[in-house]
Amino acid sequence: MRMVNGCLIYEGTEKLKQRIERAKANVGVDHVFDHFGFSYRREGNFSCPFHTDDSPSARLYDNGQHFKCFAGTCAFSGDVIGVVQRVLGCPVVSAVEFIEATFRLYGIELPEVSDEISLTKYRAECERAVMDYYSSIHGKLDEAQKFQFEQVFVSAYDERVTLNAWFCKNGAGNESDFAEVQKWARRMVKGLSAWEAITK
């Protein structure tokens, strides 16, 4: 443990870089806005949550990965780490810890991407992992809870339509496709993980 710029660093810089990349790959600005109850739009402008904004001047980019405010007096922009830092007024390390804890990045283990695995197989394995996670929660709920839980699952699972549309538009077979599958699986996990607490 050491101090850097007034922050306690628990691990090597390289490890922190990996955690930052993992946080950015799995959690979007939209997820953070959902968590804090900020109103926003996925497409088009909306009122900036960081200044008094009478004429909507903020926007999300890159499928919710980046935020930008166009008002000259504010002009705040950032990725998920920057937005969490802005909201909490904290250093990078704390923002990463917050994201990991809040979005349960370790809720399930997704399969590793490797040279040997095809995109089709990888996607099937991710879907299997999500289904196993679903079953592990489902089995512990009572009948009334099960019904509600299934509704949440069905609406989240429908996001596969979005994923399929992405593949149709961009083709398949490069590295970013694996990242898209991972993002989809993480969104599923996020939707389900709130229920995990109920089963404890």
Residues that bind Zn ion (CB under 5 A): 48, 50-51, 69, 71, 74
Give one DSSP letter per residue of 97-161, joined into a string: HHHHHHTTTTSSPPPPP-SS--HHHHHHHHHHHHHHHHHHHHTTS-HHHHHHHHHHHHHHHTTHH
> Residue 17 or residue 42: which is nearer to Zn ion going by CB?
42
Least separation in angstroms between residue 76's CB and Zn ion is 5
In the block, residue with structure tokens 């709920």: 141
CB of 70 to Zn ion, least distance (A): 8
Instruction: Tell me whether residue 54 or residue 116 sits nearer to Zn ion (CB atom).
Output: 54
Q: Which two tokens stand for residue 183?
A: 């993002």
Which is nearer to Zn ion, 52 or 120 (by Cβ)?
A: 52
3-state secondary structure of 33: helix
CA atoms within 13 A on the CB side of 36: 18
CB atoms within 10 A of CB 14: 8
- Shortest distance, CB of residue 40 to Zn ion, whole angstroms? 12
Least distance from Zn ion to the Cβ atom of residue 79, Å: 16
User: Closer CB to Zn ion, residue 70 or residue 166?
Assistant: 70
